[in-house]
Structure 1
Amino acid sequence: MSSRFALMIDPAESVDDRTDFAETFTVVDPSAPALNVSELSTQRGDGIFESIGVVDGHAQETRAHLDRLAHSADLCDLPAPNTEQWRQAIALATAHTGPGEGVIKLILSRGVEHGPAPTAWVTAAQAPDNTAARTRGIRVVTLDRGYDSGAPARAPWLLLGAKTLSYAVNMAAIREAKRRGADDAIFVSSDGFVLEAPTASVILRFGDRFVTPEPAGAILHGTTQISLFDYLRASGHEVAYDEIATADLATVDAAWLVSSVRLAAPIRGIDSIELAIDAGLTASFNDYLLSPRD
């Protein structure tokens, strides 16, 4: 999946009250070089990002993604993004996504080593076809993330609640899952609690109750999970954030990985545990997630 549109941004101060930021944008050829070789996003993964799903020219959950971008910037000691500037950049990128499903990426890096300012850019591309994952479901394995549930409080420099560019561990986890014959993974803490997937949030159903792990700094708070919980509440279902023991995965009635681009992928197996897929409920989730949402 290659980008069809790329936009470099001259980051504005968060207090900049301009109403038009067009002069701070530079459209670049997405297939041409655009970053300095001393760029810290590529050298060290020192930056943050967001992936926004686009459906028929509508960027989904823009406000939630911008709020999380600002949260990640705060955790990483990066300058606070100017919300209006990024909103206008998203609108410009959205116009280049075309019909169907697309994905917009927002990237804010610490910039060039010893440089004066951060580097920022936005890309837009067609989204991959996730039909199979949404309908046939996926198999996952549990992988120990290598720290206990108290690590985030003891070591905030791990940046566990930030969406950083340092995704080497996440990608290694997915490769390990595939080596084990699965499609994806669910991270668990070394003291036995469910966390998140490498690129998605986890939602579990116990009877009529839908539960996701309590964020509490240990995991990224998923924008799609938040939106889907709003939908479930409005539909009369009970939802909850809670500590979920790894052992409880053997007792779930249904489970999903949810994210901005793949949307709701039902889980048909966790390790050696087989799960039934609720096709009707999953379809209703994805119908909702594909509807315009701001």
Structure 2
Amino acid sequence: MTVLVFLDPAHPAGRLVDAATPSLLATDQGVTRGDGIFESLLAVDGTPRKIQAHLERLAGSARTMDLVIPAAELWQAAITTAVTAFSASVALASAPAADAPAQCVVKLVVTRGPEGANTPTAWVQVSAISPALAEQRAKGLDVLLLERGYDSGISARAPWLLLGAKTLSYAVNMAALRHAHEQGADDVIFTSGDDLVLEGPTSSVLLAHISDDSGVPVKRLITPHLDTGILPGTTQGALFAAAKEAGWELGYGPVTPADLLDADAVWLISSLRLLAPVNTIDGKEIGTAAIRAELSEELSALLATTL
């Protein structure tokens, strides 16, 4: 079940279309060149989560791409139309369990539009969330380290690589995931050519220490620094804010593969998957199952306060 709402000047609340009917021109540059940007966010019980953070990141990606996109209020109106239509469709199709929050994926997409038209195409897509994401949160992930092919300073030297933007050009990310699956792993953490940890294909990387080098108890969360050209994580940012209030120390890279292997726990974190513990990296266990479970429960509870 998918709902599509196009942002259209003639329809201030968005134009609802039949998702089973073709709506995009074959000449659209989002199709022919991957020339566009997107955001994916979670909606719970009909309410989109962290919508402002996602709209701000979408606007940042648009600036990087020199792409004109609709105003935030138009996105918000279209999101409301799409989520309302999706919730109504779900209510007609089935009756969800009373104690289970209804969740869906809200995707915001903008392309540069058809060749030669100079008219961006923008739409909101709402669909059901994959049950596999909840399974990954519960069971954890086996991850491979893969080199991205750039050094950590390339983003500043070559902004045309668009490393800090969330673009539609995800072919490399998907190829990395297919490679991981072929090797029996679940996901990937990219590293730079100068051996720094970057991010996952669809996630941010987070690690925790519960003691310092001398064994003194500490609660510290660390994530790679944004100056390595990675995408700023909205969910990582929300968790950091909640963890700070709860007394955790916070840190930003540089992070090396050795730092990951030495951590008490590592997670891949994103708006849809939320907090998924990493069980192994390149076949080496991270921390212990008991510590991973304990920390994942604590941090997931903190993250839930932000949703």
TM > 0.5 fold call: yes
Distance 1:93 1:281, change over 3 A: farther
Q: Which residue of 2 aligns with 1:162?
A: 165
Would you say the 8 A contact 1:55–1:292 is kept in 2? Answer: no
From 7, 16, 21, the counterpart of 1:27: 16
Tell me the amino acid that sits aligned with residue 66 of structure 1: L
Task: Report deviation, 1:213.
Answer: 0.3
Q: Name the counterpart of 1:233.
A: 244
Question: How many Å apart are 1:291 and its aligned residue?
Answer: 4.9
Partner of 1:117: 119
**Greater CA drift, 159-168 or 96-105:** 96-105
Q: Which residues of 2 match residues 174-185 of structure 1 at below 5 A?
A: 174-185=177-188
| Bigger fraction of residues in helix | 2
Does residue 106 (structure 1) correspond to residue 120 (structure 2)? The answer is no
Name the structure 2 match of 1:45: 34
Secondary structure of 1:63's match?
Answer: helix
The one-letter code sitting in structure 2 at the alignment partner of 1:109 is T
Residue 253 of structure 2 is aligned to residue 264 of structure 1? no
Mapped partners of 2:306, 2:150: distance in 1: 38
CA contact (8 A) 1:266 1:282 kept: yes
Identity fraction in percent: 45
Q: Which runs of 5+ in 2 are unaligned?
A: 88-100, 211-218
Match of 2:73 among 84, 95, 98: 84
Q: How many residues align?
A: 282
RMSD: 1.6
Give the structure-1-normalised TM-score: 0.91
Moved more, 154-163 or 124-133: 124-133
Given the alignment, which residue of 175, 181, 188 partners 1:172? Answer: 175
For 1:69, the equivalent position in structure 2 comes to 58
The answer as to whether partners of 2:238 and 2:306 remain within 8 angstroms in 1 is no
- From 234, 252, 266, the counterpart of 2:263: 252
Q: Who is 2:296 aligned against?
A: 282
Structure 2 residue 144 is matched with structure 1 residue 141: yes
- The answer as to whether partners of 1:55 and 1:290 remain within 8 angstroms in 2 is no
Q: CA deviation at 1:110?
A: 0.3
Structure 2 residue identity aligned to 1:94: V
| Residues 63-86 of structure 1 deviation map (CA, whole Å, 9 limit, x = unaligned) | 000000000000000014301111
**For the Cα contact (< 8 Å) 2:42–2:49, is it kept in 1?**
yes
Query: Is the Cα–Cα contact under 8 Å of residues 74 and 80 in structure 1 kept in the other structure?
Result: no
Partner of 1:17: none
How far apart are residue 131 of structure 1 and its match? Answer: 2.2
The answer as to whether partners of 1:70 and 1:81 remain within 8 angstroms in 2 is no
Unpaired runs of 5+ in structure 1?
13-20
Between the aligned partners of 1:193 and 1:261, the Cα distance in structure 2 is 25
Residue identity matched to 1:223: T
Q: Distance in 2 between matches of 1:97 and 1:291?
A: 25
Q: 2:207 aligned with 1:204, yes or no?
A: yes
Instruction: Give the 3-state SS of the residue equivalent to 2:12 in structure 1.
Output: helix
> What is the distance in 2 between the residues matched to 1:79 and 1:214?
28
CA separation in 2, counterparts of 1:245 and 1:281? Answer: 21
Superposed displacement of residue 95, structure 1: 1.6
Does structure 2 conserve the Cα–Cα contact (< 8 Å) formed by 1:209 and 1:237? yes
1:217, distance to aligned residue in structure 2 (A): 5.5
Contact 1:54–1:97 (CA under 8 A) maintained in structure 2: no
8 A Cα contact 2:6 2:78, kept in partner: no
